[in-house]
Structure 1
Amino acid sequence: MCNNDGIMKYSMSRLSIAAKLILILLLIMANGCAMMHGSLDQAQEYSRESNYEAAVQTLDNVIGSDESESVKAHAFMLRAEAYSSLKEYRSAYRDLQVAWKLSCHLYQKGPDAADAESDFNTAKSCTEKIPLLIDELKPFISDFGAIMATQEAAAIVRKIFPELPR
């Protein structure tokens, strides 16, 4: 007689292993999408805890990732705020310049260009928030420092976002 029980158990265990692998892969992919937004939240939490070095490091990872332009603009603005708290005003000024250029570019492209999952408002950031933050930094940075930071920002924009108009 043929024993189908053994074959059935073997195929079910194989199926369950394959199903488990597929489930794990799907969970990893879903987690990856939320991870970068989670990274922005984590960086903001570090800043609330006055752990600005950890916030900068977390935001460095977001900026170096394949995230959307909107998420990166938000990350540059948050990193500028962390740098400002660390009294690294030139770096803060540079990051605000990059965030401003990027948010204004996204604002000009229209609402479809902004990341729907991001709470970063490109219109408000371009026209109100970032210009105000830049003005608040000016007393802490020399004219020469501001020029150098602006040139560094232009180089960053050319490197990370080559498709942006100059």
Structure 2
Amino acid sequence: MNRRRKQRLMAVTAAFVLLAAAVSVMLVSLNDSIDVFYTPTEIHNGKTATGKKPIVGQRLRIGGLVVPGSVERDEDSLSVSFELVDSGPTVKVEFDGILPDLFREGQGIVATGELRNPTLIAATEVLAKHDEEYMPPELAEQLKGIKHFKPDDTKTSAGSYQ
């Protein structure tokens, strides 16, 4: 191989290595700002297609209906906790801040936050839907025709709300 070809090969190899490094840095940076959407059932059972569950400490978005009777407000601060449900088990959400005006029990919401344990989300943002059209399509499909009630102590089937 002559000298000129070696220089070209080295230049192409260096350009490829720099491009790979730049793409790697971008992907690592973006990974910290990506919020994957989950439903309460997917948090418990994992995503339907992959079975992948969120890990503790992961940022995520969760959507579901606020379980009637589950909203608890702290009288000394803006802290509020409530349970979310879709078609299965519930997940508790804790939020410290001002809730949207449209927030109420039985209402569909989307919260952004961090998974603290497998059934607890520490939310940094809560969005309430403004009408029946404001809902992720996969959540709307799961919630068709389901009525949700706060479970009483006599029910034995955990997470069944029909």
TM-score, with length taken from structure 2: 0.37
Return the structure number with greater helix share: 1
TM-score, with length taken from structure 1: 0.37
Return the structure number with greater strand share: 2
* Greater relative contact order, per chain length (Cα 8 Å cut-off, separation 6+): 2
